[in-house]
Amino acid sequence: MLPERLRVMGIDPGLTRCGLSVVENGRGRAVIPIAVAVVRTPSHAQLAQRLLELSQAVNEWMDEYRPDVVAIERVFERGNVSTVMNTAHGVGVLMLSAAQRNIPVHMYTPSEVKKAISGNGGADKKQMTAMVTRILGLSQAPKPADAADALALAICHCWRAPMLLRQQEQEEQAEIRRQHQQGVLARKKQQANVSSYRV
């Protein structure tokens, strides 16, 4: 069962710029913005140092805002292998921070987020920023784009959480039925073996 107030931390991963956001679900499809920021690390610094700075910033956010769940953009091939690898390292740090606090993590592709927010999996950044601004009732658009992307991820999870919970409950019920059926079959087999032994 979902908590009455689900607090979601949305993260648009990146080493140069990492978007962080926190929102809460409201009534129906209403989403309440709590905080948004962009963490920057210097591109000239060593990878390990950049990951450390990202980790420290995310840990501070998780400890301050105490999200119930984290939504992170799934890394995919964008052409520049070095950028993808650096982003993947960053995602590992982000997931570890959540795991250390027993916070569940959900991953979403950009097209999943775009479709959830705008109804169009191919929406551009301008359209997405406009939708995020409208959905959250903001007086001005969140900037830079990484901030808007982080908010979009959090909104996406707020809206998908009830469906994901239903799927999880259905899977759990199916597993219970499967285990029950296996137990019934095992007992029948055992009874059959006992009967044949008696004969």
What residues act catalytically? 12, 73, 146
Between CA 24 and CA 100 the distance in angstroms is 22
Q: Are strands 7-12 and 31-40 parallel, antiparallel or unpaired?
A: unpaired
Contact 105, 44 (CB under 8 A): no
Compute, in degrees rounded to 10, the torsion defined by CA atoms 55, 59, 61, 62: 130
Report the candidate in 136, 111, 107, 160 with the shortest Cα–Cα distance to residue 22. Answer: 136
> What are the angstrom distances between the C-alpha of 171 and each of 68, 88, 105, 167, 184?
21, 30, 18, 6, 20
Give the E-state strand segments of the chain in sequence order. 7-12, 17-25, 31-40, 69-73, 105-108
